[in-house]
Amino acid sequence: MAKRKSALDEAAQRAFGAENRARLLHRWFADRPAVEPGRAWEEVYRLLLWVDATTGLAHCYESDKAQPGRPWYARSLAFHVWLSDRLGVEPTELVDELDWMFRQAVRDLAAQQREGLSEKARAQREPYDGRELPEPGADPELAEIIEEELGDWLREPPPEEVWARVVTRVQAHLSQENKRRNLTGEGFEDVVVALVNRLGAGRDVRARTQVRLGDLDGFYPTREGDKAKLIDLVVENGRTGARALVTAKWSVRSDREEQFRSDFEAYTRLQSDNRPFGHVLVTNEFDPARLVRACESRAQNAPLFTDVVHVQPHGVLAAYGEASGAVSHKTQRKVQEYVEAGRLTSLDDWIAGLLD
């Protein structure tokens, strides 16, 4: 048997890395019919959107504010129901429709950890054989909680190593959520690119991620010693020559807003020709104030973004209570107006526009 690891193992070495993400996406699209125009947003949600474990609802806002009784719980419920209806499943079944990419990546990660780590750990503890040392994963308080709740139902107290295994598994389960952030970010870029390329196939429209500005036609090459400026993604139309410099952010925060501005300044400063270029924000942010700011931001006496694109603006409006006529807050109404005016466009409309 050859020593060489299979391609699958190689990629899964970095479960969240570019290679494994590409592998996963390839598999996802291989099993499915061609993406239908108008339904790109569904792919994004099936691949990347997740259900918040504390509420059981599709995640659309900060978890502390989406707890039962708080304002975003009502909005999360509305979004969850809207999405279930659109995907044609019961609200209790939605969880199985979403989050494919993360669930796959975590499985790869778990497989890789099971293999490598326990062997090494044994070697590390070996010099202390014969001495009492704390077992990893010992968390007496967590064990106590479980025992208090379940004790009466147990015929006998479980042995130590069972406690350790339970506690370790609970801890691993909880820490998993923290890993999601990484995949959501770069995975979002990958998914948008994959969708543009699939829908743009045969129309000479091409999208790429992580493009160095200096390598782009119409911009000065990066000077020696300068750090290359990376663009989240670039879309080029070979027929019309149109190009769009895109920043893809699953969510928005004020520090990222600062970056939008400074990145755009760099783009204009380093431009070597006069051909206009699109400057686009693609996001899944649900916060009305952040969305309105993206629509209204200006730079050099023009809108900062030529296009502000949301994965699914109608999902946002559903969350605000569009269906029940409850879009009452001023900022929310403004979002509604921007959607109606086409200033805040949907991913699908934006992609369709790229293909003209």
Q: Which residues bind DNA (CB under 7 A)?
A: 14-20, 52, 59, 61-65, 70-72, 109, 175, 178-182, 184-186, 188, 230, 232, 248-251, 253-257, 259, 287-290, 293, 329-331
Would you say 208 and 193 are in contact if contact means Cβ atoms under 8 Å apart? yes
Paired with 52 in beta bridges are 57
User: 3-state DSSP call for residue 278?
Assistant: strand
Paired with 346 in beta bridges are 310
In angstroms, what CA-CA distances link 203 with 16, 39, 149, 267, 304? Answer: 31, 18, 61, 27, 28
User: 3-state DSSP call for residue 219?
Assistant: strand
Element (H, E) at 23: helix 18-30
Minimum CB–partner distance for residue 16 and DNA (Å): 3
Q: Which is nearer to DNA, 104 or 184 (CB)?
A: 184
Q: Which is nearer to DNA, 180 or 279 (CB)?
A: 180
Among 315, 265, 310, 272, CA closest to 292: 310
Q: Which is nearer to DNA, 179 or 198 (CB)?
A: 179
**Tokens of residue 243, six digits:** 């190009």
Minimum CB–partner distance for residue 62 and DNA (Å): 4
Minimum CB–partner distance for residue 181 and DNA (Å): 4
Q: What is the largest CA-CA distance in the chain?
A: 78
Amino acid at 76: S
Minimum CB–partner distance for residue 65 and DNA (Å): 6
Amino acid at 231: I
Helix-helix angle 100-125:160-199, to 10 degrees = 140
Q: Which is nearer to DNA, 205 or 313 (CB)?
A: 313
Within 8 A by CB and 6+ apart from 138, the residues are 164, 167
Among 179, 203, 173, 192, CA closest to 246: 192
Q: Which is nearer to DNA, 123 or 154 (CB)?
A: 123
Q: Which is nearer to DNA, 249 or 310 (CB)?
A: 249
Q: Which is nearer to DNA, 55 or 306 (CB)?
A: 55
Amino acid at 131: R
Q: Which is nearer to DNA, 170 or 289 (CB)?
A: 289
Strand intervals (E) in 9-129: 51-52, 57-58
Minimum CB–partner distance for residue 285 and DNA (Å): 8
Would you say 191 and 217 are in contact if contact means Cβ atoms under 8 Å apart? no
Q: Which is nearer to DNA, 25 or 205 (CB)?
A: 25
| Residue 128: Cβ-neighbour burial (10 angstroms; 0-12, 13-18, 19+) | exposed
